[in-house]
Amino acid sequence: MSEKRKKDIQRIKELESINLATDDIRDLVVQTKMKVAKDNEQLARQNNEELKEHNIKSVDIVGAIGAGKTALIEKIVEILSEKYRILVICGDITTRVDADRIQAHNAESIQINTGRECALNAYHIHKIIENKDLDDYDLLFIENVGNLICPSEFTLGTDTRITVVSTTEGEWVIEKHPMLFKMSQVAVINKIDLAERLGTNVQKMLKDAKEINPNIKVITTSAKTGKNIDKLIDILEL
């Protein structure tokens, strides 16, 4: 690799946005960004093929901080841990809090601390699965880093993506974040037990999800009371 090429690559790695690229390297930055997106897609497909080869069903769960992603996984794992050998990959900026919570329910959990990155990508999942004996598992859950924006840039290679919102986020949350609902197969409106007290218009949330993605399956749940967790499991065909 030439010194110039090495310097260009170094510079691209430093850039957060193409708007920050100076004119002389703008084309290279744009091309590189496009290639990175393509590479992620390709790697995601490869992840999915590998999981399928080992008969592993896979689900990734995205949603804002505090929407109840971990609590939902805890409830699901509690019910399914006798039926399936479950691996859960937890993405967080820092800490092992979620992985510890899930591990308490008889599922193996792996924590990824993404540091400054606001979402997991297909490469993270690739690195985990290439280092695991996939014959040891039947079901994989991936809990993405908590936010409703960045995960829309990266597919991971799972069979199903669930986007979770909660009634505490207000009835506009789905309308304001269409990208993830467009690319998800299931939408979960969690903390339904609080909807009445908060006066959240759940009907609007249900309508918004269907308007954004007519094919999406929408369900209301309460990870706290366990309401509709069985129905969510049915939707996931688990």
Partner 1 sequence: MRMKELLKQLEQLLNEKDLDLLKIQELKTEILKNHIKGLKIENYIGDYPTFMEPVILGDSVKIGDDVLIGPKVYIGTDSVIEDYAEISNSIIFDNVKIGKNFKLDSCIIINNSKLNFDNFSSKNCILKGIAESEEELEIIRER
Site for partner 1 in 160-189 (CB under 8 A): none
Q: Would you call 227 helix, strand, or coil by DSSP?
A: strand
Query: Stretches 8-16, 73-81, 136-144, 163-171: which one binds partner 1 (CB under 8 A)?
Result: 8-16
- Give bridge partners of residue 140 from the DSSP assignment: 58, 87
Question: Cβ contacts of residue 210 below 8 Å, gap of 6+?
Answer: 216, 218
Kindly state whether residue 113 participates in binding partner 1, applying the rule CB under 8 A. yes
Kindly state whether residue 45 participates in binding partner 1, applying the rule CB under 8 A. no
The string of DSSP letters for 6-39 reads HHHHHHHHH-S-GGGS-HHHHHHHHHHHHHHHHH
Query: Stretches 1-9, 43-51, 186-194, 223-231: which one binds partner 1 (CB under 8 A)?
Result: 1-9
Question: Cβ contacts of residue 137 below 8 Å, gap of 6+?
Answer: 54, 56, 84, 85, 86, 87, 108
Site for partner 1 in 119-148 (CB under 8 A): 124, 127-128, 131
The distance of closest approach from Cβ of residue 229 to partner 1 in the complex, given in angstroms and rounded to an integer, is: 27
Question: Cβ contacts of residue 205 below 8 Å, gap of 6+?
Answer: 165, 167, 171, 173, 174, 189
Q: Which of 117, 138, 175, 193 binds partner 1 (CB under 8 A)?
A: 117
Q: Which of 17, 19, 22, 94 binds partner 1 (CB under 8 A)?
A: 94
Given the complex with partner 1, which of 120 and 180 has the nearer CB atom? 120
Given the complex with partner 1, which of 6 and 83 has the nearer CB atom? 6
Amino acid in the structure at residue 110: I
The distance of closest approach from Cβ of residue 41 to partner 1 in the complex, given in angstroms and rounded to an integer, is: 20
CA distance 142 to 124: 11
Q: Applying CB under 8 A, which residues contact partner 1?
A: 1, 6, 9-10, 13, 93-94, 96, 99, 110-117, 124, 127-128, 131
